[in-house]
Structure 1
Amino acid sequence: MTTQHQSVQAVGDTTLPAGEPSQDSLPGGTAVEGRSPARTAWRRIRRDKMTMIALLITLLFIVVALLAPTLTALTGWGPITPDSKAINPDTGNQPYGSLGGISLKHLLGVEPGTGYDIFARIVYGLRTSLFVGFASAVLSTVVGVVAGLAAGYFGGWIDSALSRVMDVMLAFPQLLFIIALTPVIQNALQTNSHGGTDENLRLLVLVLNIAVFAWAYTARLVRGQVLSLREREFVDAARIMSAGRRHILFRQLLPNLWAPILISFALAVPQNISTEAALSYLGVGVIPPAPDWGALLSDASEFFLQDPMYLFIPGVLLLILVLALNLLGDGVRDALDPRANRS
């Protein structure tokens, strides 16, 4: 009896004859199909109910922020349009009715003292929080990736210098220095006709200050990954083929770093939103009457005993937004690196 030797190739968890296409059928008729890392990560995210809920909540907040002009046009109240008929001058301009003046006319009530519609101020303040959170996260991620790539790949004095800078930035008490620097920079750059700083400039300074103190976290993470990847065979092969440093950095190394970069970005956004809210609460962020959740909480703290809903509504919404973003970041991390979270 003669046996016929047949070479085989591995496809998933099964072996199929060599020469067959990469997509075939198992004996039971099940199709075998390869998945990209992105599709695999998305599949894990879809299976995680908590992450999907966090994703839907985050998308809802983003949609509300984008549709802020439309939503406030439907209600008829802008973020700085007072309603003098909704506050009672006999009680120190407290809102009429219970629960802070919540009614069909004012869905979330009105601000004590001013009569501003809280719903309008919240949806416009949400735009501010999301813009600062995402813009500062993008900027800090870009700077951190470039610095981490350079430190990890070139090594030597470049690595030493950048690593010392990272150590210094990580050692700074971030919030205290931002509080100290933000008003100084804002006052030095530009003032408007009223003697204050232009609101767009204030937001730009906030984004820059937060990003300056946040990039080192991403840089340290990317540097550690590059130190491991630069000794891999595909990098050696690129060097042998006379590939330039730019090609190796951005065509060979960077595509293999998208998972830690995405994780770092996803976790930076909620932290930056919390920082922005804290700065506005302390009076060095967005200044009233410009709408911002941190400024709302700061003003509401003065009226807590008379109108607790004024503090409760923006406080709970800020908690939900930051919690959803944190859970989404954790879910993305677990989907991209499932070995890191489960024992």
Structure 2
Amino acid sequence: MTQQPQQISPTGESGTEENPVAETTATADSTATEVTSTNTAVVGRSPARMAWTRLKRDKVSMVSLVLTVIFILAAIFAPVLTALGGWGPITSDVKSINPDIGNYPYGHFGGISAKHWLGVEPGTGFDLFARIVYGLRTSLAVGLISALLSTVVGVVVGLAAGYFGGWIDNLLSRIMDVVLAFPQLLFIIALTPVIQNAFQTDQHGGTDENLRLAVLILNISAFAWAYTARLVRGQVLSLREREFVDASRIMGAGWVHILFRQLLPNLWAPILIAFALAVPANITTEAALSYLGVGVVPPNPDWGALLSQASEYFLIDPTYLFIPGVLLLVLVLALNLLGDGVRDALDPRANRS
């Protein structure tokens, strides 16, 4: 067997060449130290932050978010915007309409001018910009409040049905089926005479506008909660079999604690999605009711009522129908696209290109 030659050091001691194993070990240790120092600098992100990051990557959702914020700010600052224009929502400018041709606006495009930015209403002389801004307030208020109420009721019912099961689940599920199958618009229209009589506040037939809005919100919420309840129920049926729920029962936690402290925090994503999609649906429903004469009481501004009135003047003044119609389309489309973007951002398993 051939032996490796040894090298003699200047001191007279024999030794070997530099050990490659020791060098590799030292390199690995330094690399591990660098990785450890790098990992310590990484900060964990919450699910909400990760969802916001996904949402920011979606250009359509961000454009929809910007449009939604603009509409909300316009509704909040409606008095400021109308003060800049110089006209209130029910302040008539009789000089802007021509009584010789059926009280249609002077000029082209429905009377659009520096005095009236979006023109005036035929017949009344109301400033269309002020009517649209205050009508946006009504539509957003009804849509948001009714969506909030329906979401709260739907979450409570869905939690109870999914967690308790048995006859409670059967009863609540049958109620959901009836509500989902009920013709909402026909039911409200059929009750219009009864509601109108209940609204009478004096002998002259006056109507309390706040009471009318409250009834609209309650009517819409009474039919919208079932969608959220069915969604939450399906999620709870899966979550109630998880280990953390069993651990809570073993530790003696009551059903209130399990429902609202254990299950509810794990349902915020589908609940937020349901709320985001309910708002545009409720706004559309409110506009349809006002269009059919069951919504906001004239002359109070509302987009559905504007579209209903504008249909009578469309052939001569199409601008009166075109402007509120396009704005309603943009608002509902932006809210729907934003709701879809929120759903995709909250679902990490969604297929994104």
Q: Given the two structures, how large is their TM-score scaled by the length of structure 2?
A: 0.88
Given the alignment of the two structures, is residue 83 of structure 1 paired with residue 93 of structure 2, yes or no?
yes
Q: Is the 8 A contact 1:183 1:284 kept in 2?
A: no
Superimposed CA distance per residue, residues 66-109 of structure 1 (whole angstroms, 9 cap, x where no aligned partner): 00011111111000100011001111111000000000000000
**2:88·2:127 contact (CA, 8 Å) conserved in 1?**
yes
In the TM superposition, 1:62-77 aligns within 5 A as 62-77=72-87
1:51-70 alignment runs, 5 A limit: 51-70=61-80
Q: Tell whether the 8 Å contact from 2:89 to 2:131 is kept in structure 1 after alignment.
A: yes
Structure 1 residues 289 and 208: CA distance shift in structure 2, 3 A: same
Q: Distance in 2 between the 1:311 and 1:341 partners?
A: 40
Match of 2:293 in 1: 283
Matched, 1:160 2:173: no
Contact 2:293 2:305 in 1 (8 A): yes
One-letter identity of the residue aligned with 1:25:
T
- Stretch of structure 1 that moved more, 326-335 or 70-79: 70-79
In 1, Cα distance between the equivalents of 2:300 and 2:225? 28
Structure 1 residue 190: Cα displacement: 5.0
Is 2:235–2:267's contact at 8 Å kept on the other side of the alignment? Answer: yes
Where does residue 207 of structure 1 map in the other structure?
Answer: 217
**Counterpart in 2 of 1:320?**
330
Query: Residue 233 of structure 2 corresponds to which residue in structure 1?
Result: 223
Give the conservation status (yes or no) of the 8 Å contact 1:87–1:115. yes
Partner residue of 1:307 out of 314, 317, 327: 317
1:32 Cα offset (Å): 2.2
Structure 2 equivalent of residue 10 of structure 1: none
Partner of 1:330: 340
1:102 to 109, 112, 121: 112
The 3 A distance-change label for structure 1 pair 192 and 58 is farther
Aligned to 2:7: none
Q: Which consecutive unaligned segments of at least 5 residues does structure 2 have?
A: 1-20, 23-31
* Structure 2 contact 207–297 (Cα < 8 Å) conserved: no
Q: CA deviation at 1:174?
A: 2.0
Count, aligned residues: 322
Corresponding residue for 2:3?
Answer: none
Work out whether residues 178 and 210 of structure 1, in 8 Å CA contact, stay in contact via their aligned partners in 2.
no
Residue aligned with 2:45, SS: coil
Residue 57 (structure 2) pairs with residue 47 (structure 1)? yes
- Distance change (3 Å), C-alpha of 1:312 and 1:330: same
**2:268 corresponds to which of 240, 254, 258:** 258
Q: Which residue identity lines up with residue 101 of structure 1 in the other structure? A: G
The C-alpha deviation readout for 1:275-296, integer Å capped at 9, x for no partner, is 0000000000012100000000
Query: 2:282 matched to which residue of 1?
Result: 272
**What are the superposed Cα offsets for residues 28-57 of structure 1, whole Å, 9 maximum, x if unpaired?**
xx9422111100110111111100000000
Secondary structure at the residue paired with 1:339? coil
Question: Deviations 1:152-197 (Å, cap 9, x if unpaired)?
Answer: 0011111010000001001112222222235523532552463133
Q: How far apart, in 1, do the equivalents of 2:316 and 2:208 lie? A: 33
Larger radius of gyration, structure 1 or 2? 2
Q: Give distance in 1, aligned partners of 2:229 and 2:280.
A: 19
Report the Cα distance in structure 1 between the residues aligned to 2:191 and 2:161, rounded to whole angstroms. Answer: 28
Q: Name the TM-score, length of structure 1 as normaliser.
A: 0.90
Aligned match for 2:204, one of 167, 179, 194: 194
RMSD between aligned residues: 1.8
Distance 1:194 1:109 in 2: 32
Q: State the distance in 1 between where 2:350 and 2:83 align.
A: 47
Q: Which amino acid in 2 is paired with 1:298?
A: S
d(CA) in 2 for partners of 1:182, 1:164:
27
Say whether the 8 Å CA contact 2:199–2:212 is kept in structure 1. Answer: no
Partner of 1:11: none
Aligned to 2:122: 112
Give 1:271 deviation, angstroms: 0.3
**Aligned with 1:196: secondary structure?**
coil
Aligned-residue sequence identity (percent) comes to: 79
